[in-house]
């Protein structure tokens, strides 16, 4: 037996059992009161204990924390991490309750744009955490009150050099596991669309953790032999500037977006910083009064960094003592801060974002028009900063709302926690419906909930007729502007050329 074969022999049962655990974990998560999931009593899954996950960690490295994240009974921290936490189902108030394929309809083509799986902090975010922890250590004081756990706590990785920016590989919410399991879920719903004789292409932008996500997904969807058996082929699309419009990562090719420090990419960071100033001082004050005056002060960035560590630790270890340090209100503020950064950086309040996101929308609309003749499976893997522009171009959350930077707007549409968690999956399903004279319809599924398009939802299962959808996309081009013009690119910026199966 070759080394690879014996390796697979060990790996497959491991992945399978891990998957089962993760699945039940999530099943229990989504049945938390306050979410929109409705599971009738008789169909309730039997939930085996998932508590044993804690015992898999080396106890010298890590003492199992209080896993009860909830402080109120309708409260689930996973839905308030603002994209900085494990994948969760969409509980947006505009999401439809059902995912079923309407009667008389069948899916004949599917498009996915996916965020990479759960990962460690990026280098800049992680270094901020380490700087804070070093400062505490250097004071030489033990911390008190709700920060006392730090006496025995270790950072989420002891190898930051190698781990920062990479998929997490441990615990029930590991990015490796969730990417594989997403492939299995897609196989379950779309397996009938796998072509018999031709190789299926899939696409990843050129970042290690994005590529790794796509590879785990492909293994779950096509099987571990997807490459050697020529079932599928992964194409890596460079994230470089000179690609112009022929890109999966338009935020790297839109010249003005990068250069305009007021309204471009940096706009999000600015909004975030201003909001941090408004909510963190009260938290700092509270933590200092718990007997921590030895710290001298806690800056806005430090308070925010502590909140970030809750989500990042969950992704690496399954739970985190940081989550209990903060109140529900503190988390609502953190969540709003995360909404602001995305909304202003690459969402509807950024003047470049719609034109950036329209590129993939346009290419995908061409494929929806051509139908299964053009291929049936189109899976692309990118970053959150590429999905926010797509959602903006699509206008599925409405296109305009004013999000103030000084106070939380409770009834806002833009909910990063529901629409951009790690592993986000936005799919467009093309359906052919015999009940409607074989007409074609399109539906948008964001994180396992159908999001009806505000402008077009009268088709079966709140879908939109294909003709209507195409007209709308055409009209959106006028509204969001032409990519090359908006971005200040000279000459022919091109268009997405790689998104095809034939
Ligand atoms: C765990 O945390 C919750 C929420 O903070 C708290 O209500 C509960 O008492 C804690 N349990 C233990 C064993 O410390
Ligand atoms: C830290 O660990 C030591 C040794 O296990 C224990 O005695 C101590 O109570 C722990 N401190 C905190 C704050 O958990
Ligand atoms: C925590 O309390 C102890 C005992 O009162 C004190 O010596 C120490 O300085 C306090 N820690 C901080 C960070 O203030
Ligand atoms: C829009 O998509 C069509 C394919 O349907 C393509 O021919 C065209 O170049 C695209 N336009 C832009 C600006 O990307």
Give 143 Cα–ligand 2 centroid separation in angstroms: 12
- Give the pLDDT of residue 400: 72
Please check whether residue 45 lies inside any domain of the structure.
no
Residue 165 in domain: yes
Number of domains in the chain: 1
Q: How do residues 362-404 score in pLDDT, each as one tens digit?
A: 999 999 999 999 999 999 999 999 999 999 999 999 767 889 9
Does residue 379 belong to any structural domain of this protein? Answer: yes
| Higher local confidence (pLDDT), 247 or 31 | 247
Catalytic residue at 163? no
* Nearest CA, atom 12, ligand 4: 495
Lowest-pLDDT range of 24-33, 149-158, 205-214, 304-313: 24-33
Q: Tell me, yes or no, whether 66 lies in a domain.
A: no
Question: Residue 247: which pLDDT band, with cuts at 50, 70 and 90?
Answer: very high
User: 108 in a domain, yes or no?
Assistant: yes
Q: The domain containing residue 339 runs over which residues?
A: 83-487
* CATH code of the domain covering residue 94: 3.40.50.1240
The residue among 421, 363, 417 whose CA lies nearest residue 390 is 363
Q: Give helix 123-139 / helix 300-317 axis angle, nearest 10°.
A: 110
168 found inside a domain = yes
Q: Is residue 322 part of a domain?
A: yes
* Comparison of pLDDT for 15 and 111, the residue scoring more: 111
Distances from the Cα of 334 to the Cα of 164, 269, 306, angstroms: 22, 14, 11
Beta carbon of 66 within 6 Å of any ligand 1 atom: yes
What is the model's pLDDT at position 4? 55
Confidence tier at 72 by pLDDT (50, 70, 90) = low
pLDDT beyond 50 at 39 = no
Question: Is the Cα dihedral 192, 431, 471, 204 positive or negative?
Answer: negative
* CA 108/CA 376 separation, integer angstroms: 6
Shortest-distance Cα residue to atom 7 of ligand 3: 141
Tens digit of each residue's pLDDT (9 = 90 or more) over 115-144: 999 999 999 999 999 999 999 999 999 999
Mean pLDDT computed over every residue of the chain = 89
H-helix segments, 318-383: 328-345, 353-370
CA 379 from centroid of its chain's CA atoms: 15
Residue 76: inside a domain? no
Is 0.85 topped by the overall pTM? yes
pLDDT band for position 75 (cuts 50, 70, 90): confident
Ligand 2 geometric centre to CA of 66 (Å):
14
CA of 365 to the centre of ligand 4 (A): 9
pLDDT of residue 235: 98
């Amino acid at each position: 037996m070759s080394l690879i074969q014996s390796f697979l022999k060990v790996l497959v049962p491991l992945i399978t059992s891990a998957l089962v655990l993760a699945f039940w974990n999530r099943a229990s998560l989504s049945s938390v009161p306050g979410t929109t999931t409705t599971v009738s009593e008789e169909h309730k899954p039997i939930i085996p204990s998932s508590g044993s996950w804690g015992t898999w960690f080396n106890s010298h490295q890590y003492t199992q924390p209080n896993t009860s994240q909830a402080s109120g009974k309708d409260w689930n921290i996973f839905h308030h991490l603002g994209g900085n936490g494990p994948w969760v189902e969409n509980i947006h108030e505009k999401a439809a309750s059902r995912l079923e394929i309407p009667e008389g309809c069948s899916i004949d083509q599917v498009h996915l744009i996916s965020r990479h799986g759960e990962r460690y902090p990026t280098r800049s975010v992680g270094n901020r955490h380490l700087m804070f922890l070093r400062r505490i250590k250097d004071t030489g004081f033990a911390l008190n009150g709700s920060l006392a756990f730090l006496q025995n706590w270790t950072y989420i990785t002891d190898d930051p050099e190698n781990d920062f920016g990479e998929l997490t590989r441990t615990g029930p919410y590991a990015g490796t596991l969730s990417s594989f399991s997403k492939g299995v879920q897609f196989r379950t719903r779309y397996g009938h669309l796998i072509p018999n004789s031709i190789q299926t292409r899939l696409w990843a932008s050129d970042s290690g953790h994005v590529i790794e996500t796509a590879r785990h997904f492909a293994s779950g969807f096509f099987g571990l032999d997807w490459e050697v058996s020529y079932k599928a082929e992964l194409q890596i699309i460079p994230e470089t500037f000179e690609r112009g419009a022929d890109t999966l990562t338009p935020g790297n090719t839109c010249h003005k977006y990068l250069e305009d420090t007021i309204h471009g990419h940096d706009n999000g960071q600015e909004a975030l910083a201003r909001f941090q100033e408004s909510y963190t001082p009260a938290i700092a004050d509270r933590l200092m009064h718990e007997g921590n005056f030895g710290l001298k002060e806690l800056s806005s960035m430090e308070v925010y960094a502590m909140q970030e560590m809750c989500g990042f630790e969950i992704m690496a270890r399954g739970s985190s003592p940081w989550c209990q340090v903060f109140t529900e209100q503190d988390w609502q503020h953190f969540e709003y801060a995360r909404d602001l950064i995305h909304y202003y950086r690459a969402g509807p309040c950024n003047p470049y974002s719609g034109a950036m996101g329209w590129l993939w929308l346009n290419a995908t609309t061409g494929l929806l028009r051509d139908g299964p003749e053009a291929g049936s499976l189109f899976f692309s893997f990118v970053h959150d900063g590429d999905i926010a522009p797509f959602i903006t171009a699509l206008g599925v959350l409405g296109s305009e709302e004013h999000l103030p930077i000084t106070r939380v707007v409770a009834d806002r549409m833009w909910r990063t926690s529901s629409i951009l968690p790690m592993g986000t999956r936005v799919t467009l399903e093309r359906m052919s419906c015999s009940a409607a004279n074989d007409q074609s319809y399109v539906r948008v599924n964001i994180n396992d909930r159908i999001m009806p398009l505000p402008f077009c939802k009268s088709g079966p299962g709140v879908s939109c007729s294909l003709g209507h959808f195409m007209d709308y996309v055409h009209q959106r081009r006028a509204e969001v502007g032409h990519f090359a013009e908006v971005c200040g690119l000279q000459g022919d910026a091109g268009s997405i050329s790689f998104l095809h199966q034939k």
